[in-house]
């Protein structure tokens, strides 16, 4: 076999391009319950456009590997450019709301998600299609509706983790991973829902691997 030293520069360049184009195996599509971001010790700030709807918001679409590792901040040359997503801004405000403090219009959150995660999937997405794809997945999912159909409401009550997983699987066709966090009193609560998307960003798939972390067997679904 030839040693790397004897490969010509154009071939090394080609290898670099090919390997960067396949630097992940699938995406996590992560949705967040705003009530669980806001009722923590840290609290939250509503965006300048006002209090978001009582619905799941998008956190991000994250390239991931089957071994659990993931690439991040892959291309500093394509930093976030708001002008490229002008046509999506009102939908982003409604469906991908920032809750960080101090109160802001969401640009920081979207820029962070594009630069940390989106730039690692530039073989399938440009900035516009990255955000558009996430918005389209969210509207096709109707996560809150799936839960409510199973009698699971954001009413501050406690529900079994299994009933929540089953309701989402029933509604979407795919088994979710549920991430919990703790409210101000330390109760385990429904914070984020992870579903998986194939590496071309076109359809939901069963997750090849779930993140680590644990919820209580009964978790709170706080109001927002």
Give contact residues for ligand AMP (rule: CB under 6 A). 32, 37, 59-60, 98-100, 109, 113, 116-117, 165, 177-178, 210, 215
Give the nearest distance from C-beta 167 to ligand AMP in angstroms: 12
- Give the nearest distance from C-beta 53 to ligand AMP in angstroms: 13
Catalytic residue among 113, 115, 179, 220: 113
Catalytic, 158? Answer: no
Q: In the complex, what is the shortest distance from the CB of residue 9 to ligand AMP, in angstroms, rounded to a whole number?
A: 35
Considering 112, 115, 117, 220, which one is annotated as catalytic?
117
3-state per-residue secondary structure call for the chain? CCCHHHCCHHHHHHHHHHHHHCCCCEEEEEEECHHHHHCCCCCCCCCCCCCCCCCCEEEEEEEECCCCCCCCCCCHHHCCCHHHHHHHHHHHHHHCCCCCCCCCCCHHHHHHHHHHCHHHHCCCCCHHHHHHHHHHHHHHHCHHHHHHHCCCCCCCCEEEHHHHHHHHHHHHCCCCEEEEEECCCCCEEEEEEEEEEECCCCCEECCCCCCCCCCCCEEECCCC
Q: Residue 8 CB, nearest distance to ligand AMP (Å)? A: 39
12 versus 45: smaller Cβ distance to ligand AMP = 45
| Catalytic (active-site) positions | 59, 113, 117
């Amino acid at each position: 076999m030839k040693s790397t030293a004897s490969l010509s520069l154009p071939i090394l360049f080609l290898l670099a391009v090919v390997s960067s184009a396949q630097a992940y195996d699938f995406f996590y599509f992560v949705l967040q319950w705003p009530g669980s971001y806001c009722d923590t010790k840290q609290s939250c700030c509503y965006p300048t456009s006002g209090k978001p709807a009582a619905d799941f918001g998008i956190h991000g679409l994250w390239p991931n590997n089957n071994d659990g590792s993931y690439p991040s901040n892959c291309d500093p040359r394509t930093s976030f450019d708001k002008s490229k997503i002008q046509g999506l801004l009102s939908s982003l405000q409604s469906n991908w709301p920032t809750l960080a403090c101090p109160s802001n219009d969401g640009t920081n959150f979207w820029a962070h998600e594009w630069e940390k995660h989106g730039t690692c999937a530039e073989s399938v997405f440009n900035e516009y299609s990255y955000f558009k794809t996430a918005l389209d997945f969210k509207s096709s999912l109707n996560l809150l509706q799936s839960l409510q159909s199973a009698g699971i409401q954001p009413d501050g009550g406690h529900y079994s983790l299994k009933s929540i997983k089953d309701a989402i699987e029933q509604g979407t066709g795919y088994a979710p991973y549920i991430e919990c966090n703790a409210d101000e009193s330390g109760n385990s609560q429904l914070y984020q829902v992870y579903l998986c998307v194939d590496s071309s960003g076109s359809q939901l798939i069963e997750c090849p691997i779930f993140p680590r972390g644990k919820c209580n067997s009964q978790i709170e679904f706080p109001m927002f």
